[in-house]
């Protein structure tokens, strides 16, 4: 039997069997406002729900996780990759490109609207503790929680930039741009 994978907030990604997004950039994507609407699927439909770079755009992550849990089969997995709130480049003006993702581009109205849509905004940034709390409070069993580098590669296997090595001496958690969490519906 073929595994069904829901990619939520998919953009142009092709990972998955079913696709859901606020903006429909291709015909197989179902348009859905995750902030307000239920996902247009029956309970216990999917083996996996996947979302990369969507969690930080949600005003109500708890409601989103409830919907993910509703459409997941028992034993199904939810995989979320989101920005790491502790990433040093998000906080230092020296790194305008990275800083702009969460500050200037929204404040000054410079967001690339053609790629993201007119209402695309970052609302929250998460540490591993925040993600753990959201997942546990939503009734998921946590299977994995790890840091990823800029290319979504596990931090254990990632080549480090010179500044990352330096900042890593202070705190390893601040040198990784993303956090990945995998939860299981129990």
Q: What does the pLDDT average to over 148-159?
A: 66
pLDDT of residue 134: 97
Q: Rounded mean pLDDT of the chain?
A: 84
pLDDT of residue 46: 98
pLDDT of residue 171: 82
Query: pLDDT at residue 93 above 70?
Result: no
pLDDT of residue 105: 45
* Domain residue limits, the chain: 5-185
pLDDT of residue 159: 53
- The region of weakest confidence among 14-18, 112-116, 178-182 is 112-116
Task: Give the residue from 102, 38, 29, 25 showing the smallest Cα distance to 64.
Answer: 38
The domain 5-185 is placed in CATH, from the list 3.40.50.2300, 1.10.1740.10, 3.40.50.720, 3.40.50.150, at 3.40.50.150
In angstroms, the Cα distances linking 121 to 44, 95, 155, 166, 181 are 30, 20, 27, 31, 22
Residues pairing with 21 in the sheet: 31
């Amino acid at each position: 039997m073929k595994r069904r994978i829901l990619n939520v907030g998919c953009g142009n990604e092709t990972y998955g069997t079913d696709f859901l997004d606020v903006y429909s950039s291709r015909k197989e994507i179902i348009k859905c406002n995750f902030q307000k609407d239920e996902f247009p699927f029956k309970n216990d439909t999917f083996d996996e729900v996947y979302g990369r770079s969507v969690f930080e755009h949600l005003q109500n992550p708890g409601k989103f996780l409830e919907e993910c849990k509703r459409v997941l089969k028992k034993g199904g997995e939810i995989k979320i990759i989101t920005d790491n709130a502790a990433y040093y480049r998000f906080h230092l003006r020296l790194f305008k490109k990275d800083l702009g993702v969460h500050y200037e581009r929204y404040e000054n109205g410079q967001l690339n609207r053609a790629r993201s849509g007119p209402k695309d905004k970052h609302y929250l940034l998460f540490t591993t503790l925040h993600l753990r709390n959201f997942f546990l409070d939503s009734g998921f069993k946590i299977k994995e929680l790890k840091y990823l580098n800029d290319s979504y590669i596990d931090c254990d296997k990632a080549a480090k930039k010179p500044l990352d090595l330096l900042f890593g001496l202070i705190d390893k958690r601040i040198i990784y741009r993303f956090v990945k969490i995998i939860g299981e519906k129990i």
